[in-house]
């Protein structure tokens, strides 16, 4: 057991105007653990996904990531932490800019974080694409020149380029065919074993959740229901 969890969410409340989307939700997530968040659509799962990295500022509550309360940090203070928590969304095309070639989209986090050099940068990008089961020649393409599943995998490669500690996976595999899905889930499991990543896994497929998650939280109407 690690001394403090990777993520410690306490009494999180997210509101949109008068509507309370997330109502005093608390949970912890350890490094190396997959926690699934389950529940009908509109129950607040995606609001939690956005509130953790402070892409949507919560109304109240604490979000401790590696021991620091993110809700108290300014945008500037958050910037260096953001790469460590990556979001992967369901919409295969939404997570990539339509104007950037796949290669550049995957390289961007390396460049922004000063981990790029022209000698092994391109090799690193090619290796990331291969890890998600994409032939590196797809690097030359624009997102709309890829199929839905290819695009989703490119988005995952980009998220991994940041070397995150925490991945927030919002339906990451629903646009993938079963064998590619299996490859991506195996890849995520390997990365977790090797690097101790923590996964908050939002997924509706019960078979996938049973297979992949260590723990499951059930949500309904913005609240966690008793396990």
Partner 1 sequence: MSDVVLSVRDLRIAFDGVAAVRGLSFDVYEREVLAVVGESGAGKSLTARALLGMVPRGATTSGQIRLRGSDDLAALRGRRIALVPQDALSALSPVHAVGDQLAAAVRSVQRVSRRQARALAVAALDRVGIPDAGRRARAYPHEFSGGMRQRAVIAMAMVNEPDVVVADEPTTALDTERQEQVLRVLAEQREAVGAALVLVTHDMDAVRAHADRALVLYAGRLSELGPAPDVLERPRAPYTASLLASLPRYARGRRLLALPGSPPAPGALPAGCAFAARCPLAAGRCHTEEPEPADVDGRLVACHRTDDVPHPATDLFDFQEKQPA
Sites of contact with ligand ATP (CB under 6 A): 144-150, 177
Nearest by Cα to 162 from 125, 130, 126? 125
The token pair at 83 is 């790469």
Q: By CB under 8 A, which span of 57-65, 98-106, 117-125, 205-213 interacts with partner 1?
A: 205-213
Among 81, 148, 196, 215, binds partner 1 (CB under 8 A): 148
Among 83, 121, 148, 196, binds Mg ion (CB under 5 A): 148
Instruction: Count other C-beta atoms under 10 Å from residue 157's C-beta.
Output: 24
| Most distant CA atoms of the chain, gap in Å | 53
CB of residue 146 to Mg ion, shortest distance in Å: 10
The structure tokens 């950037």 sit at 100
Confirm or reject binding of residue 183 to partner 1 (CB under 8 A): yes
Among 47, 86, 95, 150, binds partner 1 (CB under 8 A): 150
| Residue nearest ligand ATP, Cβ-based | 149
**Spatial contact of 135 and 129, defined as CB atoms under 8 Å apart:** yes
User: Site size for partner 1, by CB under 8 A?
Assistant: 46
Q: Does 196 bind Mg ion (CB under 5 A)?
A: no
**Interacting residues of 194 by C-beta distance below 8 A, sequence separation 6+:** none
- Tell me the CA distances in angstroms from 10 to 25, 132, 207, one per residue in order: 7, 34, 29
CB 18 within 8 A of CB 41: no
| Closest to ligand ATP by CB, 41 or 179 | 179
Q: How far is the CB of 178 from partner 1 (least distance, A)?
A: 5
Helix and strand element counts for the chain (H, E): 7, 10
Pick out residues in 73-132 that bind partner 1 (CB under 8 A).
90-91, 130-131
Residues of the shown chain interacting with partner 1 in the complex, contacts defined by CB under 8 A = 40-42, 90-91, 130-131, 133-135, 137-138, 144-150, 153, 174-183, 185-187, 189-191, 194-195, 204-208, 210-212
């Amino acid at each position: 057991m690690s001394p403090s969890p990777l993520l410690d969410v306490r009494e999180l409340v997210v509101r949109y105007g008068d509507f309370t989307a997330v109502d005093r939700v608390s949970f912890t997530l350890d490094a190396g653990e997959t926690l699934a968040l389950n529940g009908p659509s509109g129950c607040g799962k995606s609001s939690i996904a956005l509130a953790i990295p402070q892409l949507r500022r919560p109304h109240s509550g604490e979000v401790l990531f590696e021991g620091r309360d993110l809700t108290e940090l300014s945008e500037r203070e958050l910037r260096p932490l953001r790469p460590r928590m990556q979001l992967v969304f369901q919409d295969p095309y939404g997570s990539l800019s339509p104007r950037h070639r796949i290669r550049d989209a995957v390289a961007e986090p390396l460049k922004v974080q000063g981990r790029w050099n022209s000698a092994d940068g391109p090799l690193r990008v090619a290796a990331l694409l291969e890890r998600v089961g994409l032939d590196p020649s797809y690097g030359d393409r624009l997102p709309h020149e890829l199929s839905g599943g290819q695009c989703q995998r490119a988005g995952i490669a980009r998220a991994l380029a940041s070397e995150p500690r925490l991945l927030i996976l919002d339906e990451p595999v629903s646009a993938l065919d079963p064998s590619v899905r299996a490859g991506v889930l195996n890849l995520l499991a390997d990365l977790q074993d090797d690097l101790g990543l923590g996964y908050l896994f939002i997924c509706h497929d019960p078979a996938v959740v049973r297979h992949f998650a260590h723990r499951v939280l059930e949500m309904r109407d913005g609240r966690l229901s008793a396990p």
